[in-house]
Structure 1
Amino acid sequence: MLFQTLLSLVTLAVSVNAANYKRVTCPDGNVASNEACCVFFSLRDDLQANLFGGVCGEEAHESLRLAFHDAIGFSKSMGPSAGGGADGSPITFPDVEPNFPANLGIADSVDFLTPFLGAHNVSSGDLIQLAAAVGITNCPGAPRLEFLGGRPPPIAPSIIGLVPEPQDNITSILARMEDGGSFSPAEVVALLSSHSIARSDHVDPTIQAVPFDSTPFVYDTQFFLETLLKGTGFPGTGPNTGEALSPLPLSSGENVGELRLQSDGLFARDSRTACTWQSFINNEKLMASQFQAVMAKLAVIGQNPSKLIDCSEVVPEPLPAVNKPATYPAGKSKADIQQSCFSEPFPTLSTDPGKATLIPHCPPSQGGDADDCDSDEGSL
């Protein structure tokens, strides 16, 4: 009798659980795990068709940057008055946070995302995080990010001084990242893999769309390799505040050389982060999985995840990786590496043939149309 009672209770629990996870058909025909996710399908399609266009271009890069700048506006030590984290406050208060010095350039992403807020019944926090997750799927090799929906509207903007800057020292950046989101040094390095698809407008104001590695339209590990190469020059008028010597400064017309952020160069060589940095070189699966995990953590800073709804099925499958191993740019070799981690052997890599590397200004699908390839500013 007792066994039959227990069996009945288990059967009831399974039935209730199945009812809770019953999939629903949305008005547009999409199938969701929760009715609350239906609104995000139309938003996703709108973003892809009318913003990203299936290209790993500046809108994708800038949306990812905005997700970071929004979320890191939070402080465990100072409390709620410092900011609400991943709450969408840069869009809700566009005359405040975009004007902070460390946020130079995010006004562009605020401007191009704001119309989508009016067209869809979502919060600004959900819009920012979904735009980042959808945009990066257009970059070959990127991981598929988690998306949780249901963030409430922000109450107030964050305060100035919470976003790390490239001229900051590593100790202060790590302290800010721990206070802002309980990020470990290894997790900060994982977040910096976003620089694989980032470019800069404002570190050197005389040049535009300056990438941080030689493959800015592909999510790959070249960034972690090239940041360890000896710097030889500046792509523009450097050195500027927050800029370090670059290994690939050569420019030609619209093809602007590589820019190295001071903080990136230091992270690659600091004893607290150098081995994590080196571990990503030619290990795209590790880099992508770590980035996927840390972005899930970033996206809920200041939120109660138990009150959010997992709508990850809305995020498209990313474009597949190009499956090209990391290589030394033409003219470079192991002799140019400033190795800082010696607990593991440095990867054995080949060198690209040909003349010195020139970095393309536009994604291949844009056919070199410079007018469509304005740039964004890398974080940290």
Structure 2
Amino acid sequence: MFSNLLINFVLALGAVRVASAALTRRVACPDGVHTATNAACCALFPLVDKLESDFFDGGECGEEVHESLRLTFHDAIGFSFTKGGGGADGSIMVFEDTEVAFHANREHIIQIISFDMGLISLTEGIDEIVDAQKTFMQENNVTISPGDFIQLAGAVGVSNCPGAPRLDFLMGRPLPRAPSPDLLVPEPFDTVPTILARFADAGFSPAEVVALLASHTIAAADHVDPTIPGTPFDSTPGIFDTQLFIEVQLRGTVFPGTSGNQGEVMSALHGEMRLQSDHLLARDSATNCEWQSFAGNQAKLQTAFKAAMHKLALVGQNVNDMIDCSEVIPVPRPLVGQPHLPAGQTKTDIEQACATAPFPVFAADPGPATSVAPVPPS
């Protein structure tokens, strides 16, 4: 009796192993170089190579990466449980004339305080990256849907930034049926309750909001002034690290707001810009401890950002109709450098906000305070 049970168990275990092997068996791609778990992913390898060489300037973590990552968000957040929208469906590209004219997407002037530039006018607009990606798709006869391409370009671009997680990519988004409703993209001068409510209406928790803001560690304001190629939001815009969560916690000057704005915020560092929304989320009781938890914790930042981006990329989509082609995304280089306070700053310059844990202790870079270098144009 026992021996029969044992034989049956061994046979069952063998069947499971065979089934598992069948599920993970790889197919050879037509290029003779790559293999894939699903043959449909094979066509993406040359597209990724072309993106890296032509669109991202040979694999740089530069302006096109910043803007492509921003586009993944502006497209995907166009979803509401109460107002509709297709989410990450490419509608911002297909219905460009409609969506680029939305308040958060069009070129308009907002006011931001910078340490060494005073009150400046920042021209924000999503049209340039939309047009650049559409042109790339047309010139290279890209056959995947616009929704897929936006998310693929974002994931490939992030892979060029040392320290970044390897983002997932699932393929199979259908063409959008209609443009997103207006006023679904949060803006830098929105209040914290407004920002969190907008994200909640798209299915995101406050912790996931903070995780998504890790995108600002490889971001810059690219159109502040014709003489300034790009003003970064932290001192290491070419590296995916935790410096944003350290430097935004440094004391900055808040100027009284007008016309309903909460007030402009001046960064503590020369050459660096601080978004008011980042400043307030780092200090609000709903999010300040989560913000602080990323300071110096690279592993948590990578894990949380990858999970939040995976969720963002699937907003409005049926995952059961999609193919996991994450294997086509290049593996990012490891982090360069250690978390630190900028030169000239000390622990006393940190504005403690979290009530349940002290801010981590970091050594400061040696030497006197220096300016943060601008991000060069591509």
TM normalised by structure 1 equals 0.85
Do the aligned residues in 1 keep the contact of 2:210 with 2:287 (CA within 8 Å)?
A: yes
1:270 and 1:202 mapped to 2: Cα distance? Answer: 29
Q: What residue number does 1:342 align with?
A: 355
1:204 and 1:101 mapped to 2: Cα distance? Answer: 21
Out of 100, 103, 123, the residue aligned to residue 101 of structure 1 is 103
Do the aligned residues in 2 keep the contact of 1:97 with 1:160 (CA within 8 Å)?
A: yes
Out of 71, 87, 106, the residue aligned to residue 66 of structure 1 is 71
Residues 352 and 7 from structure 1, CA distance in 2 versus in 1: closer, same or farther, beyond 3 angstroms? closer
Q: CA deviation at 1:242?
A: 7.4
Partner amino acid, structure 2, of 1:109 = I
Q: What residue number does 1:274 align with?
A: 288
| 1:202-241, Cα deviation, whole Å (9 max, x unpaired) | 678996522111111111111111111111489xxxxx99
Partner amino acid, structure 2, of 1:335 = T
**Higher deviation after alignment, 103-112 or 15-24:** 15-24
1:359 aligns with 2:372: yes
| 1:75-95, Cα deviation, whole Å (9 max, x unpaired) | 1122xxx31101111111221
1:348 and 1:152 mapped to 2: Cα distance? Answer: 48
Q: CA deviation at 1:260?
A: 1.0
**Higher deviation after alignment, 346-355 or 290-299:** 346-355
Q: What residue number does 1:209 align with?
A: 230
Out of 216, 237, 250, the residue aligned to residue 229 of structure 1 is 250
For 1:47-62, what aligned pairs fall within 5 Å after superposition?
Answer: 47-52=51-56, 53-62=58-67
Q: CA deviation at 1:316?
A: 0.4
Partner amino acid, structure 1, of 2:105 = N
Q: CA deviation at 1:156?
A: 1.2
**Higher deviation after alignment, 185-194 or 26-35:** 26-35
1:315 aligns with 2:329: yes
1:55 and 1:268 mapped to 2: Cα distance? Answer: 29
**Share of identical aligned residues, percent?**
55
1:37 aligns with 2:59: no
Residues 17 and 285 from structure 1, CA distance in 2 versus in 1: closer, same or farther, beyond 3 angstroms? closer
1:194 aligns with 2:215: yes
TM normalised by structure 2 equals 0.85
1:262 and 1:303 mapped to 2: Cα distance? Answer: 31
More helix by share: 1
1:266 and 1:91 mapped to 2: Cα distance? Answer: 31
Do the aligned residues in 1 keep the contact of 2:164 with 2:332 (CA within 8 Å)?
A: yes
2:172 and 2:23 mapped to 1: Cα distance? Answer: 18
Partner amino acid, structure 2, of 1:218 = I
Do the aligned residues in 2 keep the contact of 1:243 with 1:259 (CA within 8 Å)?
A: no
Count of residue correspondences: 348
Do the aligned residues in 2 keep the contact of 1:75 with 1:83 (CA within 8 Å)?
A: yes
Do the aligned residues in 2 keep the contact of 1:39 with 1:122 (CA within 8 Å)?
A: no
Cα RMSD of the aligned pairs, angstroms, is 2.4
Residues 192 and 8 from structure 1, CA distance in 2 versus in 1: closer, same or farther, beyond 3 angstroms? same
Do the aligned residues in 2 keep the contact of 1:83 with 1:158 (CA within 8 Å)?
A: yes
**Higher deviation after alignment, 210-219 or 7-16:** 7-16
1:227 and 1:64 mapped to 2: Cα distance? Answer: 21
Q: CA deviation at 1:278?
A: 0.6
Residues 141 and 6 from structure 1, CA distance in 2 versus in 1: closer, same or farther, beyond 3 angstroms? closer
Q: What residue number does 2:190 align with?
A: 168
2:207 and 2:46 mapped to 1: Cα distance? Answer: 36
Out of 315, 321, 343, the residue aligned to residue 330 of structure 1 is 343
| 1:323-370, Cα deviation, whole Å (9 max, x unpaired) | x222221221111111111311221111112232211223xxxxxxx4
Q: CA deviation at 1:20?
A: 4.1
More strand by share: 2
**Higher deviation after alignment, 120-129 or 3-12:** 3-12
Q: What residue number does 1:377 align with?
A: none
1:349 and 1:6 mapped to 2: Cα distance? Answer: 55
1:121 aligns with 2:143: yes
2:301 and 2:249 mapped to 1: Cα distance? Answer: 16
